[in-house]
């Protein structure tokens, strides 16, 4: 169940003067953490246009952000909101991207094979193999983790186009492939070696490098890169 946000711009009778105040005043008095998403969006946008108030523009922006699964919102989507011009759309997208970069947890930057384990380990106890595609940006920060395929107890069928489809949309510069072994044995099978070769070759063609392929369980992992198999 989703909590319903407070609507500060439509105060009920009997509210205090602070509750009637505009978002900027409340931010200065209470801090940004006390403002709703609509208030924060309105502050970023700044002003509206004739026939379309800043509150209405902010509401539309929040709706777009709520319904997008992409880690980075496209400037065209923001520019399409009536009342937002090219310069303002660029400013909004820049603010969102800057916040995403600065607030990303440090543990989501992949420096060593084991760094990815906290991001994927919750799949280790699945009774069937889950093949994961992990999109990375140029700093090797995790953009997204997606389940590409779910297989049988000891085998999953994966095609390179499924692994690279979403990373292409993410504009990723590298991909980490990973899958769990329900058997508890992390030694790669012949099929695991074959798909690793195919993914490496597909990545070279697409310009998105396959950083590693990791087989993992709850207590152990196998890195193709560490074992010189990639």
Rounded to an integer, the average pLDDT of 169-198 is 93
Ranges 8-17, 44-53, 107-116: which has the least confidence = 8-17
Rounded-to-integer distance, Cα 69 and Cα 41, Å: 18
According to the model, what pLDDT value does residue 150 have? 83
According to the model, what pLDDT value does residue 2 have? 36
Tell me the three-class secondary structure of 157-196, residue by residue.
CCCHHHHHHHHHHHCCCEEEEEEECCCCCCCCCHHHHHHH
| Residue 47 confidence (pLDDT) above 60 | yes
CA proximity to 203, closest of 143, 147, 134: 134
The CATH 3.40.140.10 portion of the chain extends over 107-223
Ranges 33-37, 102-106, 166-170: which has the least confidence = 102-106
| Residue 36 confidence (pLDDT) above 80 | no
Rounded-to-integer distance, Cα 58 and Cα 39, Å: 8
Q: Could you tell me how many helices (H) and strands (E) the chain has, helices first?
A: 9, 5
- What the block records as the tokens of 223 is 């890195």
According to the model, what pLDDT value does residue 6 have? 36
The mean predicted confidence, pLDDT, of the chain is: 81
According to the model, what pLDDT value does residue 71 have? 54
132 has which bridge partners? 147, 178
According to the model, what pLDDT value does residue 119 have? 83
CATH number of 107-223: 3.40.140.10
Q: Are 131 and 156 in contact (CB under 8 A)?
A: yes
Q: What is the pLDDT of residues 70-126, one digit of tens each?
A: 556 788 888 888 888 899 999 888 888 777 666 654 457 888 888 899 888 878 877
Q: pLDDT over 90 for what percent of the chain?
A: 30
């Amino acid at each position: 169940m989703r909590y319903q946000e407070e609507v500060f711009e439509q105060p009920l009778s009997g509210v205090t003067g602070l509750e009637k105040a505009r978002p900027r005043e409340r931010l200065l008095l209470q801090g940004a953490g006390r403002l709703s998403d609509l208030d924060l969006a309105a502050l970023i946008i700044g002003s509206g246009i004739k026939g379309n108030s800043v509150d209405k523009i902010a509401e539309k922006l929040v709706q777009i952000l709520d319904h997008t699964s992409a880690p980075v919102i496209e400037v065209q989507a923001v520019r399409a909101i009536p009342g937002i011009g090219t310069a303002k759309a660029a400013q909004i997208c820049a603010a969102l991207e800057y916040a995403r970069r600065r607030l990303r947890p440090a543990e989501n930057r992949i420096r060593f094979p084991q760094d990815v384990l906290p991001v994927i380990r919750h799949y280790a106890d699945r009774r069937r193999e889950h093949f994961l595609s992990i999109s990375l940006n140029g700093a090797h920060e995790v953009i997204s983790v997606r389940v590409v395929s779910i297989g049988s107890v000891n085998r999953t069928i994966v095609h390179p186009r499924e692994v690279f489809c979403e990373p292409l949309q993410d504009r990723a510069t590298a991909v980490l492939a990973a899958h769990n072994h329900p058997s508890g044995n992390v030694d790669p099978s012949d099929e695991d070696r074959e798909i690793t070769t195919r993914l490496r070759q597909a990545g070279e063609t697409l310009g998105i490098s396959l950083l590693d392929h990791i087989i993992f369980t709850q207590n152990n992992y196998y890195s193709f890169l560490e074992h010189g198999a990639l």
